[in-house]
A and B are shown apart, each in its own frame.
Chain A
Amino acid sequence: MARYILVRVLDSIPTILLVLTLVFLAMRILPGDPALAVLGDNAHPETIARFREQFGLNDPLWLQYLNFLRDVFTFDFGNSLVKNAPVATLIANNLPYTLELTLAAMVIGITFGIPLGVMAAVRRNKWQDNGFRVFSLVGYAVPDFYLGAVLLLTFSLSLGWFPINGAGTDFASRMHHIVLPALTLAMLKMAFIGRLTRTSLLEVLGRDYVRTARAKGASERRVVYRHGLRNALLPLSTGLGLSILSTLSGSVAVELVFNRPGIGRLLIEAITERDYPVIQAGVVVFASVVVIVNLLMDLVYVAVDPRIRVQ
């Protein structure tokens, strides 16, 4: 198993490298000068020249790229061009907020999505199924930033039940702050996981062994949960992996709407300010998370399906 994990990690290095190279080039091809973004558009030419020299922005592109690769391989992303802090500190400060939001949204999405999907499958073509279909359509159709704004206006501003901004101070306050952002992200998760569960379960419930279980007199509950749902989990686990990744990327908009700290907000600001080191480090983090999640999902396959054996 350790060898398998190692091979998978090594396999992902070219992908990450390609992504990093594309981001490196894209940031330099795009118009916009980090010196002007940082120093302001009224900066004097000599101040701009000093800044460019200080941060190596006058170096040839190939040298900047080599320096960048050296930084990546030594895990030293240097200092932000804009903020007076090492990039590693910025990432370390923001990553927990994005992870907690992603996890909270996934927990809500799974907790409600799977039962909703089971209900829709079991009550196929009945009002519960039709109701769920409408719900999932809405969940798919409403963009995160819009839903977030609606929830914010309704539950924070009008009703005053939840805070407007930030991420909270202590544990209780953190939980209080995360409810609306997590719900915003979880809506799509619930719709996606619910539909996936329904489809997968319907397929399984039509199999011979389910008919056999019913013929043997097993209760409907046992048939659905013991024989149906367990076997429907395999395609669901693949969907969960994709869902985690989409939640992570969806957190960008939600962090902005709710003014929460996080990697998404950090990256957006860095792009606006042409803060190359932060953008590059942020992409490394995102790419690494994608690799790790994919790997974890493969391992989950093993856990949920004993038939699969690692070669």
Chain B
Amino acid sequence: MRLHRRRLLQVGALGMAGSLLSAPALWAQNSSNVIRIAVSAGGPRSVDPNQTTQGADNWSTEQMFEQLVRPRDGQFATTDDEYVPTLATSWEASDDGLTWVFQIRQGVQFHKGFGEMTAEDVVHSFNRARFDGVNTAVMGNIADVQASGDYEVTFTLTGPDPLFLGSTVFQNGASIVSKRAEEEKGEGFNTDSIGTGPYQLDRFDIENGVFLSRFEDYWDGPANIERVECLYIADTTAQTLALISGDVDIIEAVRAPGWVDQIRQRDSSLLVDMTNPGSFMTLHFNLNVAPFDNPLVRKAIATSISSEIVANAMAPMGQPTFTLSPPEYPTGWAHDELPEELRYDHDPEAARELLREAGFPNGIEFTANTSQREDYRSSMLIVQELMRASGINMRLNIMDHSAYHGSNRQDQNTLALHAASFPPVALDYMMRYLSTGAEVKPDGSGGTNYSHYGITIPGVDDELAAMQRATTMEEYTEIGRGIELKLQEDLPVMGLMTLGFTAIRNPRVDLGYEVESGYARWRFHRATKA
């Protein structure tokens, strides 16, 4: 075989042309008929709302699916009477709170000609969420769900739940999907899902994003904008440049100190949409590790940290919290509401005194793991500095995000920061963080009670059980607030702050409503674009 340079060049040129032709087409031009949002992830995983495990995917499912009830756009509903009829027109609970009957909206069409939504579809959607979803636990209170008519569905609960709409019905997994479509598409439903929302799926591109078009038969009238494109741009610099250049209309903000100010300095016309509260940032003391087994040490640490200072450093996204629940939630306590001895106001000298009292006149030293993710790292670095002033020297072991949570789940941390987004359903996050059943285990099979609360020291299992039995919102809230006070006394965990979900928006796009609270995603069905 003889090879010549010319032949080599020809082969190289052919190879390049071949590679150019074989790769799929990517984005089209941005225009006034399309809203483009850049989300912080490498690529979509699923558009089946019952299977999504990546927050970024929720931006597309939010446009494609609906639940029986929803809060008002841009808000969290903190009590059940704040939910508005969506795919259900009305509902009624029995006196014992164990039976809920929903009247289903008639004439609602599924995308792509999959017909009218009926009670069968609702029952099917809830059953798949109960038995085959990524969050089956939140459906645990449903004992049975039946179609009691063509447009009527009856739920039987194992226990009363005055927040049933928030805890169970308004969940991603409880989005209503077409039973026929799922049966026909099988596993393909993951990436070709059929819902009733204002936008339907056009293209699911695993490398680049999810492309949606307006659903003309949407029951509440067609959306204003023709298309929505959820583009996946993992690199935050690339995202920012895409927004500034006008390639995209909305980006998710980086939750780092000064980031919002920086981008607004670059372009002051950009708009900031932010939820309050956002994710809970909580500090969990490992009660099995000395010196955190000493309540005075925990109080010293709480006194050495200022929630206001940490929240201010993360402004405008950070908001101070004084209990596990943020003050905006029914079970949360505002600073001035708390008994003075349970406020733990920032006082480095008082923290030193508490350490002396605990038998540590020279202060304490310990190592804690944290994630390299910006919100974790920044928060822990600020906490580290605040504690240092009280003689508390925390050595930080910064690791990648997956490794960090792996170490937490294997009980390898001492003072664990955890960020999580929770709706105003106190029982949900209290069960996760405080119940003995959720205790973290060294083999990784346990839950997120990183403190061993209720095992190492007496906990709140009885109170949580009472909360599960509560039949009214008042009773539920009262027990929850009592738990918060006990937590302030025991300090297995402390609220550090909440970090609002923030998106930066091109002023050409008007959402049609104000974003005030809610999950880290918002709908575009009322949006307009200049």
Which A residues are within 8 Å of any B CB, using their own CB?
Answer: 1, 30-34, 36-49, 82-85, 89-90, 93-97, 99-100, 103-104, 106-107, 149, 152-153, 156-157, 160, 163-171, 174, 256-259, 261, 265-266, 269, 272-274, 299-300, 302-304
Contacts and interface: CB of A to CB of B under 8 A. Distances in A.
A169 B20 contact: no
Contact of A46 (B3, B28, B136, B190): B136
Interface of A is mostly: helix
A82 B420 contact: no
Contacts of B27: 165-166, 169
A307 B35 CA distance: 63
A13 B26 CA distance: 36
Contact of B241 (A157, A265, A302, A303): A157
Contact of B402 (A49, A96, A273, A302): A273
B420 A93 contact: no
B405 A167 contact: no
B409 interface: yes
Interface centre among B2, B12, B24, B399, by most A CB within 10 Å?
A: B24
Contacts of B42: 265-266, 269, 272-273
B233 to A, nearest CB: 5
Contacts of A304: 5
Interface in B1-46: 1-5, 7-8, 12, 15-16, 18-28, 42-46
A156 B409 contact: no
Contact of B45 (A49, A84, A163): A84
9 contacts: A42-B420, A42-B432, A42-B448, A44-B135, A84-B190, A93-B207, A96-B23, A164-B238, A168-B26
Contacts of A43: 53, 134
A188 B19 CA distance: 23
A83 B206 contact: yes
Nearest to B244: A157
Interface string B106-147: 000000000000000000000000000011110000000000
Contacts of A97: 19, 23
Contacts of B3: 299-300, 302-303
A36 B400 CA distance: 13
Given A43-B53, A84-B46, A90-B206, A167 B402 contact: no
B406 A167 contact: no
Interface stretch (B300-308, B312-320, B439-447, B505-513): B439-447
A33 B444 contact: yes
Given A45-B445, A90-B206, A104 B16 contact: yes
Contact of A33 (B21, B53, B241, B402): B402
Contacts of A95: 19
Q: How many interface residues does chain B have, given as a range?
A: 35 or more
Contact of B407 (A31, A40, A44): A31
B288 interface: no
Interface string B472-511: 0000000000000000000000000000000000000000
B420 A269 contact: no
Contact of B235 (A34, A157, A169, A259): A259
B23 A167 contact: yes
A253 to B, nearest CB: 10
Contacts of B45: 38, 82-84
B403 A30 contact: yes
Contact of B43 (A83, A166, A302): A83
Given A261-B26, A303-B5, 4 more contacts: A84-B45, A84-B46, A156-B241, A165-B247
Contacts of B136: 44, 46-47
Q: Which 8 residue pairs spanning A and B have beta carbons closest together?
A: A303-B3, A269-B42, A32-B402, A259-B238, A96-B23, A31-B403, A96-B19, A32-B403
B402 A272 contact: yes
B237 interface: yes
A166 B407 CA distance: 35
Contacts of A36: 402, 405-406, 409
A170 B235 contact: no
A211 B137 CA distance: 85
Contacts of B15: 99, 103
